[in-house]
């Protein structure tokens, strides 16, 4: 059989698109004595179907694995030393940064008087509080229209509630009247 046809059947087989007949053709082909050398690896797979045994590794496979595991890249001692120096310098820089930050914050948190005279300090505090108070009053004045709108909305809703209660009472009275008339009038 042609190698191209076998390759096409193999492709269908591995994509799970082949039929049972095509699989039988492949098994028969790979059970023959002579097959193209490029399909030898496939023969091992299909030989499992006929013999029921899984093919083992080639001769010398373990030796090649052991040799490959024993090979190591040559160690570049200069690169290792440079990496170690860089690590040590990084740690030292971090410690220096933390220590410097600690001393800066300790000295900044000490309380110092800004005024030597208590009366001047009191006057300055009153001035600052007055500025804050006037700023708040200015902001409060800008919000007065909103407060008026809120007041008027509440007043309007109160009036609407009064009217709706009157209408509700009138409807209840009409309902009682309607029930009374239904009871009185014969049907």
> What residue spans define the domains of the chain?
3-56, 125-187
156-183 mean pLDDT: 86
Residues 6+ away with beta carbon under 8 Å from 46: 26, 27, 30, 31
Q: Where are the alpha helices (DSSP H) in the chain?
A: 3-14, 20-30, 40-51, 61-70, 77-108, 118-142, 144-184
Residue 51's pLDDT is what? 64
pLDDT of residue 55 exceeding 80 = no
Residue 73's pLDDT is what? 62
Residue 72's pLDDT is what? 64
pLDDT digits (tens, 9 = 90+) for 28-47: 887 777 888 788 778 777 77
**Backbone torsions φ then ψ of 92, nearest 5 degrees:** -65, -40
Task: Give 71's pLDDT tier (boundaries 50, 70, 90).
Answer: low
- Cα 53 to Cα 55: distance, rounded to the nearest angstrom: 6
Q: The pTM is what? A: 0.29
Residue 1's pLDDT is what? 60
Residue 49's pLDDT is what? 66
Ranked by mean pLDDT, which of 57-66, 78-87, 107-116, 172-181 comes out on top?
Answer: 78-87
């Amino acid at each position: 059989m042609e190698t191209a046809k076998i390759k096409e059947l193999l492709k269908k087989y591995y994509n799970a698109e082949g039929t049972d007949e095509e699989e039988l053709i492949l098994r028969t082909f790979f059970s023959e004595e002579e097959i193209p050398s490029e399909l030898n690896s496939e023969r091992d797979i299909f030989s499992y179907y006929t013999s029921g045994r899984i093919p083992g590794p080639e001769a010398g496979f373990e030796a090649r694995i052991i040799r490959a595991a024993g090979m190591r890249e040559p160690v570049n001692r200069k690169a290792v030393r440079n990496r170690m120096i860089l690590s040590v310098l990084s740690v030292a820089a971090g410690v220096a940064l933390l220590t410097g930050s600690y001393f800066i914050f300790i000295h900044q948190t000490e309380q110092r008087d800004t005024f030597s005279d208590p009366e001047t300090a009191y006057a300055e505090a009153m001035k600052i509080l007055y500025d804050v108070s006037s700023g708040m009053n200015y902001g409060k004045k800008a919000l007065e229209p909103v407060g008026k709108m809120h007041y008027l909305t509440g007043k309007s809703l109160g009036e609407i509630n009064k009217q709706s209660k009157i209408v509700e009472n009138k409807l209840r009275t009409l309902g009682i009247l309607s029930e009374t008339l239904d009871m009185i009038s014969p049907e």
